[in-house]
Chain A
Amino acid sequence: MPATDTSALLSIRSVTKRFGRTTVLRGLSLDVAEREFLTVLGESGSGKTTLLRLIAGFEPLDSGEIWMAGERLDTLPPYRRNVNTVFQQYALFPHLDCFENVAYGLRVRGVPKTEIEARVQDALAMVKMTSWTRSLPAKISGGQQQRVALARALVNRPRLLLLDEPLSALDANLRRQMQTELKSLQREVGISFVFVTHDQEEAMAISDRIALMRAGTLEQVASPEEIYARPKTAYAASFIGQTNLLHGQVQGGRAVVGSWEWPCSQPDGPATFSLRPENLLLASQEQPGNGVVRLHARVHDQVFQGAARIVRLQCEEVTLTARVPASEELRENEIFVFSPDDAVPVKDHHAGGQQE
């Protein structure tokens, strides 16, 4: 569920960043709410890590402003920002044991010794690392280092925690486990998380909202459910989950793709529609009828996936992907149907489709 608090904690306003002649961020604006888990999702080179580094203060911006809780943030050096970062490479201090790593932020701020002791123990307990208090980082596993890095950031009670692909170095199982833990930890401490990843499944699993980035701009910012069900662009539709992109026309309130037609409220002109594989149904599964679009398909090949089968279909000139229950026996020629509601009109920068 999206965060209910509407006041923005962090406000990024028309931020532009260049490295030499390359523009990495192009006038990007984004708000992060209190207690929100926001994921910045994008391919490598989309500028997502740069965005994080600007918030943390490791890079200066070329133009624009960043505000946090009503105060200008981008003019402060990193050590004066009430923001902490969990780095991709963990960045634990190799010469300090786990306790001292976690205590670091408190020590440099001159927190009294007795308080440091208590807070560090609490933080280590929160990430279940109390047994490794006196271990050096080199002596513990990657997953454990990750936990210590998390404790080291959270012990300072920042308003905002930045996480730069923190799980990318972990193996798949540990990764899923850490996703769940991160999510519940975030609920527990009640601070905003800005989480950077290139993994769309991870983004879907843990976020309140996803900010999808592409080439230095935001493609779409929405909850995982919304971005999956109502992607705004062809890129968003195909980056998040699998999809079929149908290229056609809208003419007088009807969408036309090849010989298929359905009612559509979009303005006239070329159009692209996103149709998720699970929304392409076998006609035999469906009650015959109301306004569904029927396709005659030749079944190309099938990939068995346990509960479902991923099927490639040849329908007229287009190849489509469908997802059918594994129990269905498919013949060489089948009739598939989809509901017009599931064909979501999307902006397609490449096909010259709907443009703003």
Chain B
Amino acid sequence: MYTRTYKTAVAVPPLLWVSTFLLLAYLLLFLHSFWSVQDGQIVHHWSLSNYRTLATQPLYLEVLWRSTKIAGAVTLLSLALGYPLAYYLSFYSRRKMLLYQLVIIPLWVSYLVRAYAWKTILGSDGVLNTLLQYVHLTDAPVSALLYSPFAVILTLTHIYTPFAFLPIFAALEHIPRHLVESSSDLGASPRQTFWRVVMPLSLPGVIAGATFAFVLSLGDFLAPLLVGGSSGIMISNVVVSLFGAAYDWPLGAAVSLAMLLLVLLLLWLTESLEKRWSHA
């Protein structure tokens, strides 16, 4: 048994850390969202005006909706890429660990570098446009490639697919192989085995992967900043500019809380889904 002093000594620093940098920060954010700015000063008058602005100004809802759509697209694409890859690796690959490492290694490369790489690929003088012109598919550079929601989705998918892949791979690895044999033994074709046994048993991993991809890309602000242009702006960019150039911390706080609410709602939803599908 540990002594009381030992337990306290171990527990206090992390508790302090969490309360200062998380709970206190959220509290400040929450308070700010009810204040306002007058003549470049934050005034501590309680009102719901920030939330009213949020609800009535189409700009915020539009950007929030666009961010949700982009995050949704990234999630679907990451799953569409990550699941088959994880399935192949887990069930058929003979060099499982090597390929696994190849999927993981990009995570060690700086996010900024990977996002920037897409800028050089998609730009007007970029690799892709040069290639397209070289093979005479186009005469002039296609400018729509860069600075668009498409570029954001592409970049975010590239960055977050490993995050979707990992939990799916882990879930697939945990499926006992004799269940697959048993299914086949009972007369199920490989396709039936996949849809009736493998897929349902890997769903917790799919949910976890989807949550990662969605939440991370919803709050992303570097990719839209680098490759999004004005049509690819996402909600985090708005928050950044409200806290920065616009110096409207209260409105920024309200937008942040709206996002937080959205993410919490999503987490609650996935958690209840996961509970429903767990069989222990």
Instruction: Report the separation of the CA atoms of residues A239 and B188 in the bound assembly, to the nearest whole angstrom.
Output: 39
Contacts of A108 in B (CB 8 A): 183, 186-189, 192, 196
Stretch at the interface among B6-14, B105-113, B133-141, B173-181: B173-181
Contact B186 A152 (CB under 8 A): yes
A95 touches B186 (CB 8 A): no
Are B279's CB and A94's CB within 8 A? yes
Beta-carbon nearest neighbor of B197 in chain A: A93
Which residues from chain B contact A109 at a C-beta distance below 8 Å?
187
Q: In the complex the two chains form, is B178's CB within 8 Å of A104's CB? A: no
CA of A26 to CA of B151, assembled, Å: 61
Cβ-based interface call for A77 (8 A)? yes
Task: Report the Cα distance A138→B182, complex, angstroms.
Answer: 17
8 Å CB contacts to B: which residues of A50-93?
Answer: 56-58, 77-80, 83-85, 87, 89, 91, 93
For chain B residues 200-220, which have a beta carbon within 8 Å of chain A?
A: 200-201
On chain A, the residues within 8 Å of B183 by CB distance are 93, 104, 108
Contact B178 A89 (CB under 8 A): yes
Interface residues on A, range: 20 to 34
A137-B201 Cα distance, complex, nearest whole Å: 14
Instruction: Kindly list chain A residues whose C-beta atoms are within 8 Å of the C-beta of B201.
Output: 94-95
Question: Knowing A79-B188, A95-B200 touch, does A138 contact B279 (C-beta < 8 A)?
Answer: yes
Say yes or no: A77 contacts B184, CB within 8 Å.
Answer: yes
Do A79 and B181 touch across chains, with their CB atoms under 8 A apart?
A: no
Q: Which of B185, B200, B277, B279 has the most CB of A within 10 A?
A: B185
Q: Which residues of B contact A89 (CB under 8 A)?
A: 176, 178
A268 to B148 alpha-carbon distance, docked (Å): 96
CB-based contact B277/A95 at 8 Å = yes
Query: Which chain A residues lie closer than 8 Å to B188 at the CB level?
Result: 79, 104-105, 108
Q: Mark A137-172, 1 if CB is under 8 A from B, else 0.
A: 110000000000000110010000000000000000
In the complex, the answer to whether A84 meets B185 with C-beta atoms within 8 Å is yes
Residue numbers in B under 8 Å from A283 (CB-CB): none
Q: Do A87 and B178 touch across chains, with their CB atoms under 8 A apart?
A: yes
Complex-state Cα separation, A302 to B189, whole angstroms? 60
With a cutoff of 8 Å between Cβ atoms, the chain B residues found around residue A87 in the complex are 178, 181-182
Q: Does A136 contact B (CB under 8 A)?
A: yes
Residues B182 and A85 in contact, CB atoms below 8 Å apart: yes
Please tell me if the beta carbons of B187 and A58 are within 8 angstroms of each other in the complex: no
B181 close to A78 (CB less than 8 A): yes
Question: How far apart sit A95 and B279, CA to CA, in the bound complex (Å)?
Answer: 6
Q: Which of B176, B186, B200 contacts A104 (CB 8 A)?
A: B186
Distance from A86 Cβ to chain B, minimum over Cβ atoms (Å): 9
Within 8 Å CB of A56, what residues of B?
Answer: 181, 185
B194 to chain A, nearest CB (A): 12
How far, in angstroms, from A56 to B187 measured CA to CA in the complex? 11
Q: Indicate whether B280 reaches chain A with its CB closer than 8 angstroms.
A: yes
Q: How far is the CA of A94 from the CA of B180 in the complex (A)?
A: 12
Complex interface: chain B residues within 8 A of A138 (CB): 279-280
> Interface 1/0s, chain A 191-222, versus B by CB < 8 A?
00000000000000000000000000000000
Task: Chain B residues near A153: list those with CB within 8 A.
Answer: 186
Q: Are A79 and B187 in contact (CB under 8 A)?
A: yes
Quick check: A105 and B186 within 8 Å, CB to CB? yes
Docked CA distance A108–B184 (Å): 10
- Which chain B positions have C-beta within 8 A of A91? 176, 178-179, 181-182
Interface string of B152-180 (1 = CB under 8 A from A): 00000000000000000000000010110
- A85 to B187 Cα, complex, angstroms: 11
Whether B200 contacts A85 by the Cβ 8 Å rule is: no
Closest 6 CB pairs of A and B: A105-B186, A91-B182, A108-B188, A78-B184, A94-B279, A91-B178
Could you list 22 examples of A-B contacts with CB < 8 Å?
A58-B181, A78-B185, A79-B185, A79-B188, A83-B185, A85-B181, A89-B176, A91-B176, A91-B179, A93-B182, A94-B179, A104-B196, A105-B186, A105-B188, A108-B183, A108-B187, A108-B189, A109-B187, A136-B279, A138-B279, A152-B186, A156-B187
Using A79-B188, A156-B186 as known contacts, list a sample of 14 further A-B pairs with CB atoms less than 8 Å apart, ordered by residue number in A: A77-B184, A78-B184, A83-B185, A84-B186, A85-B182, A91-B176, A93-B182, A94-B201, A95-B201, A104-B186, A104-B188, A108-B192, A138-B280, A156-B187
